[in-house]
């Protein structure tokens, strides 16, 4: 422990991101690397976003317009809300960090699932909050009933990810709506819908109505996944205007950059068709990859995202290492408590096929070794 560093900081661990192409190239010296470990969208950035971002380069000497007026209007329009219900951030991660600072005093309790996005835990620990973690149920579903029962007057925040990373599963929308309507006065839910665009219409809770009813809800979304702008780092929250003002006060002043704003605005204004066709492709490939994995005798969860969670008869860490040696990055799920499971993103057709063929080879080698 370095003298002077806050005690709460020592209790947190570094976030473990998926491996990058650059990292694998450095480590293994491979030419062809396929990245299916971070749930990116191979079809982004979409055409209008690309043009707008290139055009914006000439203005990078200037700070962005911090009212973020146009982007807030475009985002709000998508949800039938007014622009003052939107706060922007440097990726959804930036928003999650800010929300930790907005809500968490030392010793506040936070409720979260153990099998979910890892950042909620670390943000809470850094803020000195006390964790109440819930294992996933046997069917891998988030234990929303257990979480609900555990709420006390000390509970400040509930982190809920729907669709959930790493399982790809969603909770019934009515169940989430009921959960949020039942929150006591001082307890808030951060509903992270980073993968919301991939879910079927009607399968997510009606967050617009919940927000307009004045519920203790903040919805977090991102341009990183379905909009294919992960490297631009832009995300946002939907919340009632008085909370948006607090979020904007707490977050860094210029919390979205010019390139990202230009890309996101152009995407929402002009890239609808490219967005819809990418989604259609991803959903269809998700079905194909799931079918092939199932055909290999593996257990697959039905995904509402751009990734698939599946379980092997052997250790996932070892299989992932072998995939990596052959240039394919996936995410073994041992860190989430699932040592035989892998999360794989949906890539291009060629990438998916190569992943499936390589996995089949590795599994047949493993079988050979075990006889």
Ligand X SMILES: Cc1ncc(COP(=O)(O)O)c(C=O)c1O
Q: Which residues bind ligand X (CB under 6 A)?
A: 39, 91-93, 117, 161, 165, 192, 194, 222, 224, 230, 235
Closest distance to ligand X from the beta carbon of 223 (Å)? 7
Q: How far is the CB of 72 from ligand X (least distance, A)?
A: 17
- Return the residue nearest ligand X (CB atom): 91
Distance CA 161, CA 222 (A): 13
Least distance to ligand X, CB of residue 95, Å: 8
107: left (phi over 0), alpha (psi -120 to 50) or beta: left
Closer to ligand X by Cβ: residue 191 or 298 = 191
Of 94, 74, 96, the C-alpha closest to 86 is: 74
Query: Which residue lies nearer to ligand X by CB, 92 or 104?
Result: 92
Task: Tell me the residue ranges of DSSP E strands in the chain.
Answer: 34-35, 86-89, 109-113, 130-134, 155-161, 188-192, 217-222, 235-238, 299-300, 307-311, 328-329, 331-332, 341-345
- Select 256 or 293, whichever has its Cβ closest to ligand X: 256
Question: How many helices (H) and strands (E) are present in the chain, helices listed first?
Answer: 14, 13
CB of residue 89 to ligand X, shortest distance in Å: 8
Question: Residue 365 in 3-state DSSP?
Answer: helix
Closer to ligand X by CB, 164 or 363: give it.
Answer: 164
Cβ of residue 97: shortest distance to ligand X, in angstroms? 10
Nearest distance from C-beta of residue 233 to ligand X, angstroms: 7
Q: Distance between CA 193 and CA 203 in Å, rounded?
A: 12
**What is each CA distance from 77 to 49, 81, 85, 218, in whole angstroms?**
18, 6, 11, 17
49 or 292, CB closer to ligand X? 49
Exposed / middle / buried, residue 69 (Cβ in 10 Å: 0-12, 13-18, 19+): exposed
Nearer to ligand X, 92 or 142 (CB): 92
């Amino acid at each position: 422990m370095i003298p002077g560093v806050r005690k709460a900081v020592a209790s947190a661990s570094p976030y473990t991101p998926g491996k990058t192409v650059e990292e694998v190239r450095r480590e293994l010296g491979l030419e062809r690397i396929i990245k299916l470990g971070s749930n990116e969208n191979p079809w982004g950035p979409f055409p209008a976003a690309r043009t707008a971002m290139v055009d914006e380069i000439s203005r990078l000497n200037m700070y962005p317009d911090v009212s973020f007026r146009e982007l807030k209007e475009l985002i709000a329009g998508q949800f039938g809300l007014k622009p003052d219900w939107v706060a922007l951030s440097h990726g959804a991660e930036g928003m999650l960090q800010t929300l930790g600072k907005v809500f968490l005093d030392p010793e506040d309790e936070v409720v979260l699932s153990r099998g979910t996005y890892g950042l909620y835990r670390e943000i809470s620990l850094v803020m000195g909050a006390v964790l109440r973690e819930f294992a996933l149920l046997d069917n891998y579903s988030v234990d929303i009933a257990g979480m609900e029962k555990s709420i006390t007057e000390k509970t400040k925040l509930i982190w809920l990810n729907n669709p959930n990373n790493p399982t790809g599963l969603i909770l019934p929308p009515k169940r989430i709506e009921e959960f949020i309507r039942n929150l006591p006065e001082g307890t808030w839910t951060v509903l992270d819908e980073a993968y919301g665009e991939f879910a079927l219409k009607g399968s997510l809770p009606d967050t617009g109505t919940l927000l307009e009813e004045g519920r203790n809800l903040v919805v977090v979304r991102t341009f990183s996944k379905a909009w294919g702008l992960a490297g631009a780092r832009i995300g946002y929250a939907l919340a009632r205007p008085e909370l948006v003002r607090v979020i904007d006060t707490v977050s860094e002043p210029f919390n979205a950059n010019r390139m990202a704003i230009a890309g996101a605005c152009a995407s929402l204004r002009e890239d609808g068709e490219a967005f819809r066709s990418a989604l259609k492709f991803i959903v269809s490939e998700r079905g194909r990859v799931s079918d092939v994995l199932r055909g290999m005798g593996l257990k697959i969860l039905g995904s509402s995202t751009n990734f698939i969670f599946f379980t092997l008869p052997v250790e996932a860490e070892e299989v992932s290492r072998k995939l990596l040696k052959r240039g394919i990055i996936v995410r073994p799920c041992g860190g989430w408590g699932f040592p035989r499971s892998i999360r794989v993103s949906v890539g291009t057709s060629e990438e998916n096929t190569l992943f499936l063929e390589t996995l089949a080879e590795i599994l047949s080698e493993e079988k050979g070794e075990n006889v």
